[in-house]
């Protein structure tokens, strides 16, 4: 969604209303660009998890939220175990491999990677995400010998975060056909999306949400 004033509780409540969900059934995160993933249940309903960038649950009618502007919002669902998950992954989250942490936790709880479906939401893409030489070196060192995540154009270096996200999902054993990517670039499509890089300090944010209502996944 792209609400007009995303940080206001009213807009969040209105958005949730369109899904017939009340805020007391959600779990939100105080996101800090970490690789910390928290398992939550009904005791966490209505709460904000501090210093967390990933959530997992098996609870019905508990809805996990991730809020982003340029970072990648990822939604996870295990069709067999019925685990729902969210992750917030900017460059720091990708660098510190939050996807690995989250999928590792799912697998330790019995998930078979082939049962996990993943949604990659709008985020800043390699078309718009210019980075410094220093950052590029940092990523090269970490993910060597892989280099497909960097693109050079007009003497600028661009980082492809969703590419790395997909590599990490692949490394976790999740089949490519289980991954759905919106392919939206937040910096290109500011009518639909918010972009910190494009909009500066007045940037807005949008929310990704996943959970199971009764027996229905949304
Ligand atoms: Zn772009």
Q: What distance in angstroms lies between residue 205's CA and the mean position of ligand 1's atoms?
A: 17
188 CA to middle of ligand 1, Å?
A: 5
Residues contacting 81, CB < 8 A, separation 6+: 58, 106, 109, 110, 111, 115
Distance CA 138, CA 20 (A): 44
Distance 163 CA to ligand 1 centre (A): 14
CA of 125 from ligand 1 middle (Å) equals 5
pLDDT of residue 194: 72
Write the DSSP string, 156-217.
EEEE-HHHHHHHHHHHTT--GGGEEE---BTTT-TTT---HHHHGGG---EEEEE-EETTEE
| Residue linked to tokens 């996101």 | 31
For residue 129, the CA-to-ligand 1 centroid distance in Å is 7
Ligand 1: centre distance to CA 34 (Å): 24
What's residue 195's pLDDT? Answer: 73
* 108 Cα distance to chain centroid: 20
Q: What is the pLDDT of residue 203?
A: 66
* Contact predicate 55/76, CB 8 Å: no
Ligand 1 ion: nearby residues, β-carbon < 5 Å: 125, 127-128, 185, 187-188
Q: Rounded to an integer, what distance in angstroms lies between the CA atom of residue 73 and that of residue 65?
A: 9
Q: Which is nearest to 88 in space by CA: 196, 200, 199, 4?
A: 196
Q: Helix axis angle, 161-171 relative to 98-108, nearest 10°? A: 30
The CA 146 to ligand 1 mean position distance, Å, reads: 22
Give residue 183 CA to ligand 1 midpoint distance, Å: 10
Exposed / middle / buried, residue 60 (Cβ in 10 Å: 0-12, 13-18, 19+): middle
DSSP assignment of 43-79: GGTT-EETT-SEEEE--TT-EEEEEESSSEEEEEEET
Q: CA distances (Å), 81 to each of 20, 78, 145, 150, 217, in order? A: 24, 6, 35, 36, 13
**C-beta separation of 82 from 70 below 8 A:** no
Those residues of the chain that have pLDDT short of 50 are 1-6, 216-218
**Cα–Cα distance for residue pair 150/136, rounded to 1 Å:** 7
């Amino acid at each position: 969604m792209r609400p007009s004033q995303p940080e206001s509780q009213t807009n969040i409540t209105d958005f949730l209303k369109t899904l017939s969900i009340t805020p007391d059934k959600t779990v939100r995160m105080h996101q800090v660009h970490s690789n910390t993933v928290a398992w939550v249940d009904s005791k966490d309903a209505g709460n904000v998890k501090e210093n967390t960038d990933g959530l997992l649950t098996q609870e019905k009618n508990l809805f996990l939220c991730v809020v982003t502007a340029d970072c990648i919002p990822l939604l996870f669902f295990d069709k067999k175990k019925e685990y729902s998950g969210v992750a917030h992954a900017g460059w720091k989250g990708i660098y510190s491999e939050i996807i690995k942490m989250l999928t590792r936790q799912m697998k330790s709880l019995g998930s078979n990677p082939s049962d996990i479906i993943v949604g990659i939401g709008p985020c800043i893409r390699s078309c718009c995400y210019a980075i410094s030489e220093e950052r590029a070196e940092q990523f090269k060192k970490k993910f060597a010998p892989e280099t497909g995540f960097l693109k050079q154009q007009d003497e600028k270096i661009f980082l492809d975060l969703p590419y790395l996200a997909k590599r990490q999902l692949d490394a976790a054993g999740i089949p490519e056909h289980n991954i759905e990517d919106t392919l939206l670039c937040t910096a290109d499509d500011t009518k639909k999306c918010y972009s910190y890089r494009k909009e500066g300090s007045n940037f807005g944010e949008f929310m990704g949400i996943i959970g199971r209502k009764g027996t229905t996944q949304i």
